[in-house]
Amino acid sequence: MSLTRKIAHNTAIQAIGKGIGLALSLVTAGFVLRYLGQTGYGQFATVMAFLQIFGIIIDFGLYIILLKKISKTDENTDKLVNNIFTMRLVSGLIFLGIAPVIGLFMPYPGIVKAGIFIATGFYLFVSLNQLLSAIFQKYMATYWIALGELIGKATTLGVTLTFIFMGMDLKYIIAAMVIGSGLNFLTNFIGSRKFFKIKLRFDFSLWKSILKESWPIALSIFFTLVYFKGDTLILSLFQPENEVGIYSAPYKILEVIIAFPTMFIGLALPVLNKSWLEQNMKKYKQVLQKAFDFLVILAVPMVGGTVVLAEPIMRLLGGEEFVPSAPILQILIFATAAIFLGTLFTYLVVTMNKQKVMLWGYSAVALVSLALYVTLIPIFSYWAAAAVTVLAEVAIFIIAYSICYKTSHRGVSLKGFFKALVATLAMVALLIAVPDINLFFSIILGALVYFTVLFLFGGISKGQIKEVMALKSK
């Protein structure tokens, strides 16, 4: 089986699972938005934003380090996986244990503080799931990721609907997420045993070595948190809870969507890492271009379609109460596109061992973003939060790409981008020309136009389609 086809098939498996999981997440979010309303969802978003600080801190860059190291054939993978898993578990118990204590001193209502305590379980399971996904990506066994995703999301939806039917409050809505993520972890844990026997290992010399390599990544992730979640936290401190809800509803869509590029790059990164280590620059350039083109093909029409369909999307998701969120979605979708492309190069920075250089970029963007949040959010509310988020994500993409280009002397061609842009403009023109039609029909019609025009302009070739769809390897 060719490399492109293997990556494509594993991406397809994960994409199908992720797509169904995305649909289940959005259905769940829709019920929660309508049930809690602007104020209640603002409280929910505050809980999640507060805990995400600690959820990201416990990462310590371990996922990227694990993904990078297990792509090397000479690594003691069993020892490595077990020690990194143990490190993640220990850091999770420590920092997520501290979070509810700090939450008690925050100027939040009691329901939010209780929600923070309950949601610690959700972030612990999510963090452990992320590590296990690296194993499946390494062995191209992404069907386990898809299965865990489906079980977890379906359970969350079912339990959430049960609690809504029973008239339960915010605490129970959060508890439903904990139950779903717990079953997701259990599924992935069982699947991982086909490749590794997960055990607690305390090889402190190895821990020291891993931390020495991962601390710049951990610090970078912390700075990422400042501009990615600082907006919601500062908004919760300076503006009413209903405005936090209006902003966080479209932000939920962003958070769901950005899981896809991470999934895809997790499959492509071992190949890029191997070719970089072997200094096989021809292969490196080839895989990099294909990965970039693939992300562009998805990101560009996502922006165009969302700008046109933002209002019906928000009406479907949250009802009339959240239609005011549509303009925020139109802004945040540009940040989503920047994350799609930027994730590829921020991961490559680690492959090239340039994370210390990238740290300066993260810190600069975080400090500037924080200053803008504090200055502008009290005046312009969620409009400022959305605009600064876009600027921050675009800046990170540019910085990461610049570092990769200067290190490898290999860039990417923008031919695919311009072809995707032409196809997107055709799609947008059609959607504007036929307004007031069903949202799902609009999406299907837009996709058909986009991919047809893209094919006609050579953005997707017959050879690529045959390679991906062939039943026999070449």
pLDDT tens digits, one per residue of 358-370: 888 888 999 999 9
Q: How many Å apart are CA 315 and CA 322, to the nearest integer?
A: 7
User: What was the pLDDT predicted at 75?
Assistant: 52
Q: How many Å apart are CA 124 and CA 54, to the nearest integer?
A: 10
Q: How many Å apart are CA 399 and CA 401, to the nearest integer?
A: 6
Taking the CA atoms of residue 259, residue 264, residue 270 and residue 272 in that order, the dihedral angle to the nearest 10 degrees is -120
Q: How many Å apart are CA 145 and CA 150, to the nearest integer?
A: 9
Over the chain, what is the mean pLDDT?
85
Asked if residue 63 has pLDDT above 90, the reply is: no
User: What was the pLDDT predicted at 356?
Assistant: 80
Q: Which helix (H) or strand (E) holds 342?
A: helix 326-351
Q: How many Å apart are CA 99 and CA 57, to the nearest integer?
A: 11
65-74, 136-145, 378-387, 440-449: least confident range = 65-74
User: What was the pLDDT predicted at 474?
Assistant: 38
User: What was the pLDDT predicted at 10?
Assistant: 58
Asked if residue 263 has pLDDT above 80, the reply is: no
User: What was the pLDDT predicted at 388?
Assistant: 95
Asked if residue 245 has pLDDT above 50, the reply is: yes
Structure tokens at 156: 């969350």
Tell me the average pLDDT across 58-87: 75
In 3D, which of 155, 159, 158 has the Cα closest to residue 147? 155
User: What was the pLDDT predicted at 459?
Assistant: 73
Asked if residue 473 has pLDDT above 50, the reply is: no
Q: How many Å apart are CA 356 and CA 219, to the nearest integer?
A: 9
Q: How many Å apart are CA 194 and CA 197, to the nearest integer?
A: 8
Helix, coil or strand: residue 29: helix
Axis-axis angle for helices 170-192, 143-165 (nearest 10): 160
**73 backbone dihedrals φ, ψ, rounded to 5°:** -70, -20
- What does the longest C-alpha to C-alpha distance in the chain come to? 64
User: What was the pLDDT predicted at 210?
Assistant: 84
Half-sphere exposure of 90 (CA within 13 A, CB side): 13
Contact of 234 with 377, CB cutoff 8 Å: yes
Asked if residue 439 has pLDDT above 70, the reply is: yes
CA distances from 236 to 9, 92, 325, 451 (A): 42, 25, 16, 41
Tell me the average pLDDT across 172-180: 96
In 3D, which of 243, 220, 217 has the Cα closest to residue 232? 243
Q: How many Å apart are CA 22 and CA 264, to the nearest integer?
A: 15
Q: How many Å apart are CA 212 and CA 155, to the nearest integer?
A: 39
Residue with tokens 């997520």: 96
User: What was the pLDDT predicted at 303?
Assistant: 95
- Exposed, middle or buried: residue 220 (CB in 10 Å: 0-12, 13-18, 19+)? buried
Residue 468's pLDDT band, with cuts at 50, 70 and 90, is: very low
Asked if residue 5 has pLDDT above 60, the reply is: no
99-113, 128-142, 164-178, 294-308: least confident range = 128-142
User: What was the pLDDT predicted at 471?
Assistant: 34
Q: How many Å apart are CA 50 and CA 109, to the nearest integer?
A: 14
User: What was the pLDDT predicted at 376?
Assistant: 95
DSSP letter for each residue of 218-243: HHHHHHHHHHHHHHHHHHHHHS-HHH
Contact of 302 with 334, CB cutoff 8 Å: no
67-81, 136-150, 339-353: least confident range = 67-81
Tell me the average pLDDT across 448-471: 71
**Which is higher by pLDDT, 120 or 264?**
120
Range of 58-62, 94-98, 326-330, 410-414 with top mean pLDDT = 326-330
Axis-axis angle for helices 281-318, 3-57 (nearest 10): 60
Q: What is the DSSP letter of 458?
A: T
CA distances from 422 to 131, 270, 412 (A): 39, 32, 19
pLDDT tens, position by position, 297-338:
999 999 999 999 999 999 988 889 999 999 999 999 999 999
**Which is higher by pLDDT, 27 or 436?**
27
